[in-house]
Structure 1
Amino acid sequence: MPILGHGIDLVSVSRIGAMIDRHGAHFLGRVFTLAEQSYCERNAKRRLEHYAARFAAKEAVLKALGTGWRDGIAWTDVEVVLEPSGKPTIALTGRASSIALSEGVTTIHLSLSHTGDFATASAIAERQT
């Protein structure tokens, strides 16, 4: 399968923490799905790392699709979900899903990594030939 695009993003964990502190539930609800919030809140010690990794994933996916934050895409249109094995994957809804379908995207490969200070994500969008 040919690659449509590759996106990568690096996020400061403390920056995401500051956004959560400043804007609270409004920020969380605008950026993260309820399932993402539930997952991140399970481990208080690494909660901000998990939020930051998901934030980076959303940015990386839209870079891979070549759209950025335009055309009515909402943050919650891009959701990080975990396979039973724990592998992170992407679920698209709304406008992000429509764009991916119009571009022939069949798979989005996702890799996440995080430390106490930074979170990063890499996304590769594959399309049909």
Structure 2
Amino acid sequence: MIVGVGVDVVDVPRFRAQLERAPALRERLFTVDERDLPLRSLAARFAAKEAIAKAMGAPPGMMWHHCWIPRPEHGDGRPEVRLTGTVEAQARALGITHWHLSLSHDGDVAAAYVVAERRAEEDTP
């Protein structure tokens, strides 16, 4: 069962300007593993974090770095959603058991689309 859907688009030059104006923003938004990624990858991950929050109804109190999208190390290369702390607690409260995430960046635009799903145990592959 789909619990929520979220989508977000980031203007990469505007995002760069925000990071340059407020260098502490990078630490507030991203985990240590994400911070050194190229700008377009950071923008796509920020879009993913926004889309994930939207899929959960954008509840207050969630911390940005409690959600991250690690670099694919193996498998089929699909991006994975990792949660901890405040974001994990919200997902658990909503019964979310699976995330489907698509990231894209081209030129000056980065985008993310996410589907939050609750699966019954017999539906889990």
Question: TM-score if structure 2 supplies the norm length?
Answer: 0.89
The ranges of structure 1 where at least 4 consecutive aligned residues each deviate by more than 6 angstroms after the TM superposition are: none
Aligned equivalent of 1:32: 30
> After the TM superposition, which residues 1-20 of structure 1 pair with which residues of structure 2 at under 5 Å, given as runs?
2-20=1-19
Residue 107 of structure 2 aligns to a residue whose secondary structure is coil
Aligned equivalent of 1:93: 84
In 2, Cα distance between equivalents of 1:6 and 1:69: 14
Mind listing any 5+ residue stretches in structure 2 that lack a counterpart? 121-125
Identical amino acids, percent of aligned pairs: 42
Aligned equivalent of 2:123: none
- Tell me the CA shift for residue 82 of structure 1: 3.1
- Tell me the CA shift for residue 69 of structure 1: 5.2
Residue 57 of structure 1 aligns to a residue whose secondary structure is helix
Aligned equivalent of 1:104: 95
The yes-or-no answer on 1:122 pairing with 2:125 is: no
Which whole-Å deviations, capped at 9, do the CAs of 1:78-113 have from their partners, x for residues lacking one? 101233243211101111101111111110110000
**Structural RMSD (CA):** 1.2
Change in CA separation of 1:97 and 1:20 when aligned onto 2, cut-off 3 Å: same
Higher strand share: 1
Mind listing any 5+ residue stretches in structure 1 that lack a counterpart? 41-46
Aligned equivalent of 2:56: 65
In 1, Cα distance between equivalents of 2:5 and 2:91: 14
Residue 69 of structure 2 aligns to a residue whose secondary structure is strand
Is contact 2:52-2:114 (8 Å) kept?
A: yes
Change in CA separation of 1:69 and 1:16 when aligned onto 2, cut-off 3 Å: farther
The yes-or-no answer on 1:80 pairing with 2:69 is: yes
> What letter matches 2:67 in structure 1?
V
Residue 34 of structure 2 aligns to a residue whose secondary structure is helix
Higher helix share: 1
Residue 34 of structure 1 aligns to a residue whose secondary structure is coil
Number of aligned positions between the proteins: 118
In 1, Cα distance between equivalents of 2:53 and 2:33: 20
Question: TM-score if structure 1 supplies the norm length?
Answer: 0.86
